[in-house]
Amino acid sequence: GKPEILKYNLSGSWSRRLNGEHRIVYKITDDRVLVSSVKDHY
């Protein structure tokens, strides 16, 4: 799905839908992608 930048306490992180129910929440640093959540709503 289309990436969506998150706000508030997840500022700087991104969310992307994997399917209709699940999504991945991640943050990109200089040399890494840090995955915060792979499940349902953040």
Residues tagged active-site: 4, 41
CATH code, domain carrying 17:
3.30.2310.20
- Name every residue whose Cβ is closer than 8 Å to that of residue 15 and which is 6 or more positions away in sequence: 3, 4, 6, 23, 24, 25, 42
Low-confidence ranges of the chain (pLDDT < 70): 40-42
Query: What single DSSP character describes residue 30?
Result: S
**Residue-number span of the structural domain to which 8 is assigned:** 4-39
Q: DSSP letter string over 2-21? A: --EE--GGGTT-EEEESSSS
> What's the DSSP call for residue 26?
E
**Domains in the chain, number:** 1
| pLDDT value for 1 | 82
Average pLDDT of the chain is 90
Q: Residue 17: which of 34, 42, 8, 7 has the closest Cα? A: 42
